[in-house]
Amino acid sequence: MTRAFIKTKYRIQQALEGRERGASTIEYFGVVVVAVMLIVAMIAAFRGFNLGAKITTELNKIQG
């Protein structure tokens, strides 16, 4: 009985370890997506996009 329990526990641990490897791939993909978004935002800011005017306009809308 104990031997069967140990084998079952070992199989469950092996199955769960395989799942954790996939999670790291998703996490790296998320980091890459955030980095690309930041780069695109910086390019847009330096290509004639007047960020200061946009912020001022939105603040004026909020203040009424």
**How far apart (Å, rounded) are the C-alpha atoms in residues 28 and 34?**
10
Domain-embedded: residue 55? yes
Domains in the chain, number:
1
Domain-embedded: residue 40? yes
Owning domain of residue 60: 24-64
Domain-embedded: residue 47? yes
Domain-embedded: residue 32? yes
pTM for the structure as a whole? 0.42
Domain-embedded: residue 9? no
- What pLDDT does residue 23 have? 62
Give residue 57's pLDDT band: very low, low, confident or very high (50, 70, 90).
very high
Q: What is the mean pLDDT of residues 16-35?
A: 78
Give the tokens for residue 24.
């790291």
**How far apart (Å, rounded) are the C-alpha atoms in residues 59 and 51?**
12
DSSP 55: H
Domain-embedded: residue 11? no
